[in-house]
């Protein structure tokens, strides 16, 4: 039986093609599970950072996706503000960065309820007139500069104030006002 003359070159070409396909297939990184569940945009980001993505645990991957989705939900102004904050953070001295990271860690350890309370208090503070905010910040700086024993005394007084009724607080304010005007001795 005679083989057609074109068959050997076709077989050689076919073997080269199959070999090439296999070489390309073996050269590709193994598929990463879960990519099919991502949006095309998220998949593109993961594929651009594939090596780092592979090193993340499933929990870290989930957190990265949540952060990315949050980032995408921000307005252009909010994104710019975040970039500026990050630039300022990178330029800080190491000690200052460490303090901020510790504060952030403490914030994350708070209960959701406490975080909401603090967020509401911060929002109220931000709505105050600038001169009132500055007075509060100045008092905070003065408090921070006090020696430890004096800080304790101030905190004990604050706790007593918190336990007072509104009428007792009003009476104490009036006594302080009269004392400032020189009409009464200062309250103890």
3-state SS class at 91: helix
Whether 173 contacts 163, CB under 8 Å: no
Q: So what's the pLDDT on residue 49?
A: 83
What pLDDT score was predicted for residue 8?
52
- 188 domain residue, yes or no: yes
Tokens 């050269």 found at: 27
* 183 belongs to a structural domain: yes
On whether residue 107 sits in a domain, the answer given is: no
The whole domain housing 172 covers 146-188
- Does 161 fall in a domain? yes
Which residue is listed with tokens 């990050």?
86
Residue-by-residue pLDDT tens, the chain, 188 positions: 544 555 455 445 445 455 544 444 444 445 566 777 888 888 888 888 888 888 888 888 888 888 888 888 889 999 898 899 889 989 999 999 899 899 989 988 999 999 999 999 999 999 999 999 999 999 999 999 999 999 999 999 999 999 999 999 999 999 989 888 876 565 55
The pTM (predicted TM-score) of the whole model is 0.46
Residue 185's contacts (CB-CB under 8 Å, 6 or more residues apart) are 179
Q: Pick from 185, 166, 167: which is nearest to 176 by CA?
A: 185
Using a 10 angstrom Cβ sphere, with 0-12 exposed, 13-18 middle and 19 or more buried, the burial of residue 43 is middle
Helix 130-145, helix 112-127: angle, nearest 10: 120
Q: Given this model, what pLDDT does residue 69 score?
A: 86
Total domains in the chain come to 1
What is the CA angle 143-149-150, rounded to 5?
Answer: 35
**In the chain, what's the furthest Cα-to-Cα distance?**
130
Q: What is the pLDDT of residue 22?
A: 43
CA 68, 73, 77, 78 dihedral sign is negative
The pLDDT value recorded for residue 25 is: 41
Tell me what pLDDT residue 152 has.
94
């Amino acid at each position: 039986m005679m083989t057609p003359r074109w068959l050997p070159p076709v077989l050689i070409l076919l073997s080269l093609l199959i070999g090439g396909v296999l070489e390309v297939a073996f050269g590709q990184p193994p598929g990463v599970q879960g990519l099919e569940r991502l949006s095309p945009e998220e998949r593109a980001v993961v594929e651009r950072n594939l090596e780092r993505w592979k090193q993340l645990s499933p929990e870290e991957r989930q957190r990265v996706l949540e952060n990315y989705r949050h980032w995408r939900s921000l307005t252009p102004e909010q994104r710019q503000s975040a970039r500026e904050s990050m630039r300022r953070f990178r330029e800080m001295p190491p000690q200052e960065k460490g303090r901020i990271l510790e504060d952030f860690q403490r914030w994350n350890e708070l209960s959701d309820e406490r975080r909401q309370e603090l967020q509401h208090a911060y929002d109220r503070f931000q709505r105050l007139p600038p001169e009132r905010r500055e007075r509060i910040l100045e008092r905070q700086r003065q408090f921070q500069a006090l020696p430890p024993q004096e800080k304790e005394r101030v905190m004990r007084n604050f706790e007593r104030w918190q336990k007072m009724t509104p009428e007792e607080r009003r009476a104490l304010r009036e006594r302080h006002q009269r004392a400032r005007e020189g009409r009464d001795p200062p309250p103890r």
